Chain A
Amino acid sequence: MTYQEKKSIVSMVSVTIIFGSFCLYLYPQFPKDGLESLQTFRFWGSFVFSLIVVSMIANIIINIVFNIVYRITTGEKEPRFEDELDNIINLKATRNSFFVFILGFLLAMGSLIILQPSQLMFIILITSGFMSDVTGSVTRLYHYRKGV
């Protein structure tokens, strides 16, 4: 298995673990009062903001650790640049990832049209963000293994 394949798997697993543990951590803080209260919007705003910050920091740390472990276990250095194959695969991953997020965004807006609580819109938006990230990693892994 090459560096890029391993990196895609690590990325997929880390995104799932970070998102899962973050949701479990914030679940007890979920506001119990009125569904449309100001407190509820504040909760979702801080949820999205802190999820982005935590994900970025965790991804940087995981990448550093992964590169160190890769160097130790294989004795090889990680590639320092992206070539034409990487660019094509990244484009395909971004396209699929974007498609999933847009689908989630439309679903979220649709939920408001059919008068669902705003909570549901936030849940769909955040879930589609997570799904789009996973889709990007799965696409990368697929194309690195099967070709383009």
Chain B
Amino acid sequence: MGKNLVSNHIRKLRFDHDEMTQQQLADKVGVTRQTIVALEKGSYSPSLELAFRIARFFDLPLEEVFLYRDNVEE
């Protein structure tokens, strides 16, 4: 299993959105709760389509929700 280089701020953004639950976010972006759990744990890199759906839901640019590990280390 390759190392996941994509991290995200989904957990923080959820809490900033009236402490939204994982299930509520999953329903809004059209995935199962399992996928939100995996994303928050950093064990799954979403497809570009899902990444855009999540960013648009939070009304933020993609780069403010998802980070590529190289950028973080820099």
Which residues of A does B touch, CB under 8 Å? Answer: 2-5, 76, 79, 81-86, 144, 146-148
Number of residues of chain B lying within 8 A (CB) of chain A = 18
Q: Chain A residues near B1: list those with CB within 8 A.
A: 146-148
Q: Chain B residues near A81: list those with CB within 8 A.
A: 32
Give, as a whole number of angstroms, the nearest-CB distance from B41 to chain A.
7
Number of A-B contacts (CB under 8 A): 48
Most A C-beta atoms less than 10 A away, residue of B23, B37, B46? B37
Tell whether A83 pairs with B35 under 8 Å between CB atoms, given A147-B43, A148-B43, A148-B44: yes
Q: Chain A residues near B43: list those with CB within 8 A.
A: 146-148
* Interface SS of B by simple majority: loop
Closest 3 interchain pairs by CB?
A: A147-B43, A83-B31, A79-B32
Contact between A84 and B50, CB atoms less than 8 A apart:
yes
Select which of A2, A82, A84, A146 is within 8 A of B33 by beta carbon.
A2
Bound-complex Cα distance A84 to B30 (A): 10
Contact between B50 and A147, CB atoms less than 8 A apart:
no
A-B CB contact pairs (8 Å), 29 listed? A2-B33, A2-B34, A3-B34, A5-B34, A76-B23, A79-B32, A79-B33, A81-B32, A82-B32, A83-B32, A83-B35, A84-B31, A84-B35, A84-B50, A85-B31, A85-B32, A85-B35, A85-B38, A86-B34, A86-B35, A144-B38, A146-B43, A147-B4, A147-B42, A147-B43, A147-B44, A148-B1, A148-B38, A148-B43
